[in-house]
Structure 1
Amino acid sequence: MARLHVVTGKGGTGKTTVAAAMALALADEGRRVLLVEVEGRQGLAQLFDVPPLPYVERKIAVGPGGGEVFALAVDAEAALLEYLDMFYHLGRAGKVLDKVGAVDFVTTIAPGLRDVLLTGKVYEATRRKAHGRLAYDAVVLDAPPTGRITRFLNVNHEVAGLAKVGPIRNQADSIMGMLRSDITRVHLVTLLEEMPVQETLDAVEHLEALDLRIGSIIVNMVRHSPLDDEALTLAAKEKLPLAELAKGLKAAGLPADKATVAALAAETHDHAVRVGLERENRGRIDALGKDVVELGLIADGIDTGALFDLAEELTA
């Protein structure tokens, strides 16, 4: 039933990349998907190698299944002007306010209003209809990072001291109703590292306290060890048979002097320790009891082709 997919994660986990891949994965069999960013970084334009996105929905890709992906960069000031025109019919007067800096002033002194405007645009796009059907089959939101996601989505609380009644309050109530409904899922992107995993655990707790529904925990940049468990155990205990390492190096036509063998053993020890820590962190994620999705590390960097590869992984 989900049609709004909110993607968050600690900075550096590949949140925007995963959001883009998810939009491509959802663009199947003629489906129309809207991919939205709200942080003003133009990260989507860079990923898809297109010009900076304006405050208008623009087609940027065709999904692997033949659907279409549109993108939108939501700007709080432009959203406020649109809001003022929609509810108060200011028209040209709103543009005058923008020129004198009033719009920026309002959203600065009332940061909660900024989040209502940003999520409000997503709310409108999710519900909009065209020709008797929904304009978009799915909307993917590249949301703020986990450290700010609870505040960003808790729009009711953010406007509590700003508006008790009226259009702003009604808008916040409507947005909150959609975010808590069956059509919305919040997906969290993490790495198998201490800080991203801890932020993920904290975010799940805080989001569920707001009655928001968790979709998947997406473990990104997964690296699989070429060593079996026995070799990893020996390496972690620094008990690898050095004679066997030397024999293997010689068979590969590589130097097998004591210094090289010792360096290889030390490298293998570090690798085994890292694998052990990753497994511990994976266990903490699994303990949440949520759906977990793994995406492999793409060593050569992310380009459009890599996005399609990740989309196919998500689909599978």
Structure 2
Amino acid sequence: MHIVTGKGGTGKTTVAAALAIALSSQGGRVLLCEVEGRQQIAQLFDIAPLPYEERPIAGTGRGGGEVYALAVDAEAALLEYLAMYYRLGRAGKALDRFGVIDFATTIAPGVRDVLLTGKVYEAARRRTDGPDSDFVYDAIVVDAPPTGRIARFLGVNDDVAGLAKVGPVKNQATSIMTMLRSEQTRVHLVTVLEEMPVQETVDGIEELSAASLPIGHIVVNMVRPSLLSEESVEALDSADVDVDEVAVSLARVSLPSAAAQDLLDEGSAHLERQRLQDEQDSLLAATGRDIVHLPRLADGIDLGALYDLADDLEEMTR
């Protein structure tokens, strides 16, 4: 179980998708789940919106593996739960028609998160044919809520287990928390090298640790490479660059010499950005967690880019 979280805008859905592809390269069957109802997986793979059912994503499997996708819907999950544990088939659908299902998942605190995590748990524990057969999925990747909400989202079943003393609700809540805290689960945090996302990542690690939830890798996304040589950095630092000499050099290669000062200003700004990036990277390194760096892809994200990122995430599959 790989749970992927991150501050909005850091690319956690992209990382979750690439991780699912990386896991499938080992020849297994992987389920990629989203729980926020935004249909970002469908957008990322340029396919029709996902229904509340598991279906293969064409072209993503490699190495003999398969990637399936599921958009978990809380209302549908509640109906499924009522049918499974209380045998309320037609009665559950009647409740849905009267708006009771929507009311319960909207008003009751924590119910939505309980249902979302419950559906992921069911998929993780499902077997192909009987209690001693293989699991249907070799791995599950969850595109989870943002870092600021992840500890509460994953820990909601603790509250439920404390409230429900007996019965199927109590049993399922306890089982879910056992799975989430087991050695088979890891919570990965996605960030970019900017002050706010990095601080949220550090805070998220503390919250997850306090809740005894297992932390996996920090994935540093969209890392910008340095474009300056060591010689250029030293020259800019010492201000030992003559703008007239730069102008002459530009003219030699048929570039406008008037751009010399702008070029130097841009070089200094780039150097400052790189140092701020390195500073944030050091803060992440101080957490002592395993870190994976992913490059910034100037041409955007398509299926080919996901395969490239999957290669970079290979160490997370071991």
Tell me the TM-score normalised to structure 1 length: 0.94
Larger mean Cα displacement after TM superposition, 170-179 or 56-65:
56-65
Amino acid at match of 2:119: K
> Does the aligned pair in 1 maintain the 2:161–2:171 contact within 8 Å?
no
> Residue 287 in 1 paired to residue 286 in 2?
yes
- Provide the residue aligned with 1:305 in structure 2: 304
Amino acid at match of 1:122: V
> Does the aligned pair in 1 maintain the 2:151–2:208 contact within 8 Å?
yes
Amino acid at match of 1:11: G
Amino acid at match of 1:265: L
> Does the aligned pair in 2 maintain the 1:8–1:15 contact within 8 Å?
yes
1:159 is paired with a residue whose SS is: helix
1:50 is paired with a residue whose SS is: coil
Deviation track 1:62-110 (CA, whole Å, cap 9, x = no partner) reads 3232310000000000000011111111110000101111011111222
Change (3 A) 1:247 1:315: farther
> Residue 14 in 1 paired to residue 11 in 2?
yes
Deviation track 1:190-218 (CA, whole Å, cap 9, x = no partner) reads 00000110000000000011111111100
> Does the aligned pair in 1 maintain the 2:53–2:71 contact within 8 Å?
yes
> Residue 148 in 1 paired to residue 146 in 2?
no
- Provide the residue aligned with 1:169 in structure 2: 170
Amino acid at match of 2:311: E
Distance in 1, Cα, partners of 2:203 & 2:220: 16
> Does the aligned pair in 2 maintain the 1:231–1:240 contact within 8 Å?
no
- Provide the residue aligned with 1:73 in structure 2: 71
- Provide the residue aligned with 1:262 in structure 2: 261
Name stretches of at least 5 consecutive residues in structure 2 with no aligned partner.
Answer: none
Larger mean Cα displacement after TM superposition, 246-255 or 21-30:
246-255
Shift of 1:162: 5.2
- Provide the residue aligned with 1:242 in structure 2: 243
Q: How high is the sequence identity, in percent, across the aligned residues?
A: 62
Aligned length, in residue pairs: 311
Shift of 1:238: 5.0
* Residue of 36, 42, 64 corresponding to 2:39: 42
- Superposed CA RMSD: 1.7
Deviation track 1:102-154 (CA, whole Å, cap 9, x = no partner) reads 01111122231111110011111111110421100000000001011111001
- Provide the residue aligned with 1:92 in structure 2: 90
- Provide the residue aligned with 1:198 in structure 2: 199
Name stretches of at least 5 consecutive residues in structure 1 with no aligned partner.
Answer: none
Shift of 1:234: 4.3
Tell me the TM-score normalised to structure 2 length: 0.93
Amino acid at match of 2:32: L
Distance in 1, Cα, partners of 2:36 & 2:280: 29
Distance in 1, Cα, partners of 2:36 & 2:241: 49
Distance in 2, Cα, partners of 1:91 & 1:126: 23
1:215 is paired with a residue whose SS is: strand
- Provide the residue aligned with 1:55 in structure 2: 52
Change (3 A) 1:164 1:109: farther
Change (3 A) 1:110 1:265: same
Shift of 1:252: 2.6
Distance in 2, Cα, partners of 1:7 & 1:126: 16
Change (3 A) 1:210 1:239: farther
Distance in 2, Cα, partners of 1:164 & 1:237: 69
Shift of 1:299: 0.7
> Does the aligned pair in 2 maintain the 1:8–1:144 contact within 8 Å?
yes
Distance in 1, Cα, partners of 2:148 & 2:244: 49
* Residue of 77, 81, 87 corresponding to 1:83: 81
- Provide the residue aligned with 2:232 in structure 1: 231
Distance in 1, Cα, partners of 2:231 & 2:158: 52
Amino acid at match of 1:48: F
Amino acid at match of 1:288: T
Change (3 A) 1:270 1:236: farther
